[in-house]
Amino acid sequence: MQPTIGERIRELREENGWSQEHLAKLLNMTSKGTICNYEKDWNCPPGKMIEKMAIVFDVTVDYLIGISDLRERYVQFMKGRQMPVFKTCDTDALINKEYSKIETYMEIPDCVNIRRGDFFGIVIDDNSIDKYHINKNDIVVIERQQIPDVGSLCAVMIKNKLMVRRFYQEDDTITLVPESFDETYKSIKYKKDDVKVLGVVTKAVINIPDIA
């Protein structure tokens, strides 16, 4: 008998040593009661919340909803295929693909949705997305694309400043939302023409020792 999504949520929360209140905070919920209802299978999380939980727990959606025992979103690395990794200050090099100015190379995670396409890495220079356990000097893997889904975690360029933010667009306005416990990072609205989307975050590679 396959586990329910509520059982998986409780299993992963306890495995991480988190209280229901802490998990609710990670997911931007106002009350731990919603988590309690999910874990008891009294309510089922909506699709977007399931995707967000999968990111927070760093597991596949299929594992979270109980139809697969494959936990890891990225199981191994592709030998021989590497991607460039840039620092956030190297904006011109990143946009123009000036690979002579890259910080380093690293192997690309091997999974179904990352075997094709144009990928690069960014060394994060602050803690603006630490709710996803991505901190300063960690690397995020970016797939180049210009039209992200609403709510995607994206690499964007604002006046030659590169940042990773959650992306929301409404008509000609784009709102960029940090995902941080530090409330000094604020959501900001921009005109559509002032924002250049470079790509969407597909994976975080935490604690790389030889990149500072």
pLDDT score for 160: 77
Cβ–Cβ under 8 Å, residues 180 and 127: yes
Specify the pTM.
0.55
pLDDT score for 130: 84
pLDDT score for 10: 95
Burial 67-104 (b: 16+ CB within 10 A, else e): eeeeeebbeeeeeeeebbbbbbebbebbeeeeeeebbe
pLDDT score for 137: 82
Per-residue pLDDT of the chain (212 residues; tens, 9 = 90+): 678 999 999 999 999 899 999 999 999 888 899 999 999 999 989 888 888 898 888 887 878 888 777 676 543 444 445 666 767 666 666 666 555 555 555 555 544 344 445 777 888 888 998 887 788 888 788 888 778 888 888 889 888 788 899 899 988 999 999 988 888 999 999 999 999 898 888 766 654 444 33
User: Could you give the CA distance from residue 49 to residue 25 in angstroms, rounded to a whole number?
Assistant: 13
Reference 141, options 101, 212, 199; nearest CA is 199
pLDDT score for 147: 80
pLDDT score for 88: 63
pLDDT score for 114: 45
Residue 195 backbone phi and psi in degrees, to 5: -115, 125
Q: How far apart are the first and last CA of the chain?
A: 46
